[in-house]
Structure 1
Amino acid sequence: MKMTSLKLKKILEERLSGEDYKTSYNRDKDTFRIEEKEQKQGITITLPNVVSKYNERGEEAIDELVDHITEALRIMNEQQQLVGMEKNIYPVIRAASFPTETKSGDKLVFKEHTAETRVYYALDLGKSYRLIDEALLEKEGWSQNRVDEIASFNLRSLDVDYKKDHVAGNDFYFVATQDGYDASRILNEAFLEEMKANAKGELAVAVPHQDVLIVADIENKTGYDILAQMTMKFFAEGRIPITSLALIYEDKKLTPIFILAKNRPQNDKK
């Protein structure tokens, strides 16, 4: 079946029908919205994006979307708390251009990280998470420092497993556990210091999207080019893109670098 926005709209209306929710369709923007009737909190879906996924993956794409919508609506209409949930608080890396407040106007809690990235804080709810906002902190009587300390402690408790690839005289390490906090591991200073101590060349890192951290031991100019291509590819494919620029790790500091891809490696040099 060839999928269209109107067909998809009808499918979503059928699968998300319920007394507590209402749906609407914006023909001009080609979007579908479902929201809770009383609170009027909800989600807006850009239909052409889902049509594209359906054409690639079939019914699985719609099943996945419905799961995400159902879970998001459940979270929106639950009263979250931080007390008793301390072990479920983690830092998450986002692009410097990421919004600083929710769609309902609540200011998100964050701190600056690099020129390309910021650190936000997530309350892990199992299948999904909620970014912590100032309203939730105020309700709990917590400070941002307290959230940061708890999140940092929890991050350090996560395993840092990686796969290694040797290309054109350079070593590349990929952290991709798919637990939602792979990019966050760039905040694990002990891990970066260990990698730096063992590096034969210059240490560079990249967080192209939420679900991967790339660490590179760069020993020649070709290594920079490979890292640039790699980071751009991951950035384009990521579900939550962060930055297409790599960062140099030196003296416990991360500095974004812009790498021009000039020296493309030949296959026989790998």
Structure 2
Amino acid sequence: MNTLKMKQILQEKFMAPDRTIRYDREHDTLRIENNNTGKGITVSLASVVNKWNEIKDKAIEEIVYYVNEALTVMGKDHVMDQAGGLIYPVIRATSFPTKSEDGATLLFDDHTAETRIYYALDLGKSYRLIDEKWLEKNELSAQSVREMAKFNVRSLHTEMKQDEVAGNTFYFINSNDGYDASRILNDVFLRKMSEKMKGTMTVSVPHQDVLIIGDIQNDTGYDVLAQMTMSFFTNGYVPITALCFLYQDGDFEPIFILGKNKPPTE
């Protein structure tokens, strides 16, 4: 499978009378827009191909479902329930846009040098990012949204899978609820995890749908972590960062892992 063949497959899947599909040859992306709203989704063909190499046609089914749901959401107006239970934080790369497609400024906060925190209204199968226009319409302050999101992210389950490689332990949250990376904001959970560590604790958010916690106990662990994080980063539909972070007392320090040398912790 190559990106040209994937482009042809997806064009057929997304084709509809009320849609416009554009191919960007330079960036190897496909843009699917709703003609009625002018809003759309841009799909990285390389990411879908990488995913297809792992799970075959399921990758196509997933991206088609994701785009169709997102385009449906974009055409509707949404309000929050009075309890604020539908608002969650989402993690994005610092390169992610700060304005919506209609020019409204999105609500976001700095997180690390590599990541930002945005805020989303959960809609069940998808969500929409909160912007200033939405805040004004719903008569909410930015601070109240932040507080709701901070509370709600702690309610998300933290069930993990565990893997041991060369004396190092890796924990994965991969529930595919759209907020796996958001668990990095659950400081209560991270502090509890830090108490379990035998070595150095690392945290990685390579894409939206995974959080990786590493208990690194030898130099090989850093090499495994770097390879693992890069693999997730290149295969994610919403990539965030291929860098890993050292975690200590609520602080995140980005680390660069080169060769087989353990990175400095100071």
What's the CA shift for 1:5?
Answer: 5.2
What's the CA shift for 1:183?
Answer: 0.8
Aligned to 1:268: none
| Shift in alpha-carbon separation, 1:146–1:223, aligned structure 2, 3 A | same
Aligned to 1:73: 71
Aligned to 2:39: 42
Post-superposition CA distance 1:73-129 (Å, at most 9, x none):
322221111243721111111111111111221111111111111111111111111
Alignment of 1:4-43 (within 5 A): 9=11, 12-13=14-15, 16-17=16-17, 21=18, 23=20, 33-37=32-36, 40-43=37-40
Bigger Rg, structure 1 or 2: 1
What's the CA shift for 1:163?
Answer: 1.4
Aligned to 1:267: none
Distance 1:133 1:229 in 2: 36
Q: Percent identity?
A: 47
Aligned to 2:195: 197
Q: Does 1:171 align with 2:138?
A: no
> In structure 2, the residue corresponding to 1:41 is in which secondary structure?
coil
What's the CA shift for 1:250?
Answer: 1.3
Aligned to 1:137: 135
> In structure 1, the residue corresponding to 2:72 is in which secondary structure?
helix
Distance 2:48 2:210 in 1: 26
| Shift in alpha-carbon separation, 1:209–1:84, aligned structure 2, 3 A | same
| Shift in alpha-carbon separation, 1:165–1:84, aligned structure 2, 3 A | same
Aligned to 1:237: 235
Aligned to 2:251: 253
TM-score by length of 2: 0.83
| Shift in alpha-carbon separation, 1:169–1:89, aligned structure 2, 3 A | same
Number of equivalenced pairs: 256
**Consecutive unaligned residues in structure 1, runs of 5 or more:** 265-270
| Shift in alpha-carbon separation, 1:171–1:62, aligned structure 2, 3 A | closer
Counterpart code for 1:41: G
What's the CA shift for 1:36?
Answer: 3.5
Distance 2:168 2:226 in 1: 13
What's the CA shift for 1:171?
Answer: 1.4
- Whether the aligned pair in 2 keeps the contact of 1:106 and 1:134 (CA below 8 Å) is yes
Post-superposition CA distance 1:231-259 (Å, at most 9, x none):
11111111111111100111211111111
Aligned to 2:147: 149
> In structure 2, the residue corresponding to 1:254 is in which secondary structure?
strand
Counterpart code for 2:34: E
Distance 2:243 2:19 in 1: 42
| Shift in alpha-carbon separation, 1:87–1:263, aligned structure 2, 3 A | same
Post-superposition CA distance 1:37-82 (Å, at most 9, x none):
3xx4232556966995898678766655554443223222211112
Aligned to 2:100: 102
Post-superposition CA distance 1:183-230 (Å, at most 9, x none):
111111111111111211111111111111111111222211211111
Post-superposition CA distance 1:119-143 (Å, at most 9, x none):
1111111111101111101111211
Determine which of 160, 164, 178 is the counterpart of 1:162. Answer: 160
| Shift in alpha-carbon separation, 1:143–1:3, aligned structure 2, 3 A | same
Counterpart code for 1:23: T
Counterpart code for 1:101: K
| Shift in alpha-carbon separation, 1:230–1:97, aligned structure 2, 3 A | same
- Whether the aligned pair in 2 keeps the contact of 1:50 and 1:62 (CA below 8 Å) is no
- Whether the aligned pair in 2 keeps the contact of 1:208 and 1:241 (CA below 8 Å) is yes
Aligned to 1:212: 210
Determine which of 170, 183, 186 is the counterpart of 2:181. Answer: 183
